[in-house]
Amino acid sequence: QVQLVESGGGLVQAGGSLRLSCAASGRTLSSFRMGWFRQAPGKEREFVAAISTIGGTTTYADSVKGRFTIAKDNAKNTVYLQMNSLKPEDTAVYYCAADQGMVLATRASAYDYWGQGTQVTVSS
């Protein structure tokens, strides 16, 4: 069992930056692949970014590619999502997720553990 707690969300103007953190407890993240997802009001949860178990491979949704960066610090048991050049359409609740699979996963159903989410609001 692993518990995930996101932080770092908030209100930012378009073009600004935020860094989300996802701190894990209960298990070490070195054996977990991680993902970030987001859900806007009235929309389905969508994939944002994922990182492999060791942290050497990443993948991103086309909508955030080049603007967002996912990183994993196994020593701190934390995963980060650096978000730059934010747009109003990035407004959503952001969730981190963990799973003990080995390969990258972009489907929400592939992840067993989820955080409670952190709100990101981008004003125009």
- Select the more confidently predicted residue: 81 or 1: 81
pLDDT for position 74: 86
pLDDT for position 91: 98
Q: What is the pLDDT of residues 15-70, one digit of tens each?
A: 999 999 999 999 888 889 999 999 999 999 999 999 988 767 999 999 999 999 99
d(CA 99, CA 113): 6
d(CA 102, CA 14): 36
pLDDT for position 28: 87
pLDDT for position 36: 98
Tokens 């378009």 belong to which residue? 14
Q: What is the pLDDT of residues 55-110, one digit of tens each?
A: 679 999 999 999 999 999 988 999 999 999 999 999 999 999 999 988 889 999 99
Tokens 């050049």 belong to which residue? 85
